[in-house]
Amino acid sequence: MQKSIFEYAGLIARFLKGKLSPTESESLEKWLNEDKENRKLLESFRDNESVQKDLDFFSSVDVDQAWQKVAVKTQHKANRILPLLSGCAAAILLIILYFVSDPWSRLKSPDAVSSAVLIKNDIAPGNNMASLRMADGSVIKLDTVAKSVREKDGTLIAIRDGQLKYMAANTNNDDSSVLTNELRTPAGGTYQMLLPDGSKVWVNSLSSLKFPTKFSGKERLVVLTGEAYFEVAHDRSMPFKVLVNGTEVEVLGTHFNISAYGNAVRTSLAEGAVRVTKLGLQRSITPGEQAVAEGGNIAVSAANIDKALAWKDGMFWFEEDNMEEIMEQVARWYNVEISYRGEASPKRFTGNVRRQAKLSQVLQMLNLVSGAGFEIDGRKVIVNFNK
């Protein structure tokens, strides 16, 4: 199978260079006709310039060590990070990059990578972890075991497959019977939930969401710390509001992400419309825009929605981020403490990595594109810019 991959990779590489012989063209066409996925793969490589810019480093975690040596050598100068892929397409991609890359690009041997990333212990990625504080103050640890509990007002709470589902016991609008619950995620944890009105919420690591067991009155109000993505059920008679760090985000029915790990509250809108209010100042945004509320100002600009929502889809997404910004995300997801040696590099990096990767794999890729050294020691990661 690997020999076959080498052959087809060579054909694709020569096709990209426009150097296929008639016999080779016939062989390539036969392979393309065998499986529609083969043709899709070829089409994705047609833009050689894009390949050069976007595919600087590739880690093939599901193939053998020989393939990984090819991956280690496949790196260009744009300081970009590649997703972790696997299988036949991954192997072919590695070889294509090896054949079409600039032979004078800066290369590193596997030994150089391993010496620059000192792993005393590896750390697995985060997963579905959270706790639920009930109205009476009791705390339920949410794990993978399916179960259900009832609040004092009769609300049924189903816990299954990393998700909470709230089903209100009644639909009357009596505010006196409304209870408040709070979902909390630790470092390395995320969780999903279905609110009583049918709205869906994805809660990121080191975050919390306070919400009523049923919505009543003139508005649906929740309180957020950290980060969450919302898909709000439409109800024009009862606007949905999120309070976070002194900022109010109001919607009727829409899809949006709020990130507020620091002082700034960043609202990125995927669908619908929202209004952001802080200290009496209001700004509305439309799909593809973001509002950043910080201090006494709300700034509206174009948003990278893919980047804003990547965490929900299991990806780290970096775009012109410096190493400190990248390591903040790493720290939250792997539950580690970060320290630095030397002066930080001014370089910025673009690319994406699956959040299912082990910490060592992420650090190896960061080493290859940045030149910084890394050390994992218990729950501490040292970033060495003196390397």
Q: What is the pLDDT of residues 34-70, one digit of tens each?
A: 877 778 777 766 655 545 444 433 333 333 333 333 3
Strands 189-194 and 200-203: antiparallel
Over 254-292, what HEC string results? CEEEEEECCCCEEEEEEECCEEEEECCEEEEECCCEEEE
Structure-block tokens of residue 324 = 């400190």
Does residue 310 sit in helix, strand or coil? helix
Helices (H), the chain: 2-17, 22-34, 36-44, 48-54, 65-73, 87-100, 110-116, 305-309, 323-334, 359-370
pLDDT band at 77 (very low <50, low <70, confident <90, very high): very low
- Structure confidence at residue 342 (pLDDT): 92
- Tell how far CA 327 is from the center of its chain: 13
Does residue 7 sit in helix, strand or coil? helix
pLDDT band at 4 (very low <50, low <70, confident <90, very high): low
Question: Mind listing the pLDDT tens digit for each residue in 109-124?
Answer: 445 555 678 888 999 9
Q: DSSP per residue over 87-137, as a string?
A: HHHHHHHHHHHHHHS-TTS----HHHHHHHEEESS-----EE-EEEE-TTS
Question: Mind listing the pLDDT tens digit for each residue in 347-380?
Answer: 888 777 888 888 988 888 788 778 889 999 999 9
Tell me which residue of 95, 100, 60 sits closest to 76, measured CA to CA.
100
Question: Mind listing the pLDDT tens digit for each residue in 184-210?
Answer: 999 999 999 999 999 999 999 999 999
Listed in sequence order, the residues at least 6 apart from 166 whose beta carbon sits closer than 8 Å to its beta carbon are 155, 156, 157, 193, 194, 195, 196, 213, 214
At residue 6, φ and ψ (nearest 5 deg) are -60, -45
Determine contact, residues 233/198, Cβ cutoff 8 Å: yes
The most confident of the ranges 59-73, 95-109, 166-180, 313-327 is 313-327
Structure-block tokens of residue 62 = 């599901």
The sign of the dihedral angle between the CA atoms of 355, 357, 358, 363 is negative
User: How far, in Å, are 54, 111, 325 from residue 371 at the CA level?
Assistant: 18, 14, 16
> Based on C-alpha coordinates, what's the Rg of the chain?
24
Residues 227, 309: Cα–Cα separation, whole Å? 11
Amino acid, single-letter form, for residue 116: A
pLDDT band at 176 (very low <50, low <70, confident <90, very high): low
Strands 373-377 and 337-341: unpaired
- Tell how far CA 263 is from the center of its chain: 21
Structure-block tokens of residue 344 = 């930080």
- Structure confidence at residue 49 (pLDDT): 52
- Structure confidence at residue 287 (pLDDT): 96
Q: Which residues pair with 377 in a beta bridge?
A: 380
Question: Mind listing the pLDDT tens digit for each residue in 302-348?
Answer: 999 999 999 998 888 888 899 999 999 999 999 999 999 998 878 88
Determine contact, residues 349/326, Cβ cutoff 8 Å: yes
Please, what is the average pLDDT of the chain? Answer: 80
Determine contact, residues 338/375, Cβ cutoff 8 Å: no
The most confident of the ranges 5-9, 265-269, 351-355 is 265-269
- Tell how far CA 240 is from the center of its chain: 25
Q: What single DSSP character describes residue 85?
A: B
Amino acid, single-letter form, for residue 219: E
More confident residue, 369 or 294: 294
User: How far, in Å, are 165, 198, 221, 226 from residue 210 at the CA level?
Assistant: 15, 16, 9, 12
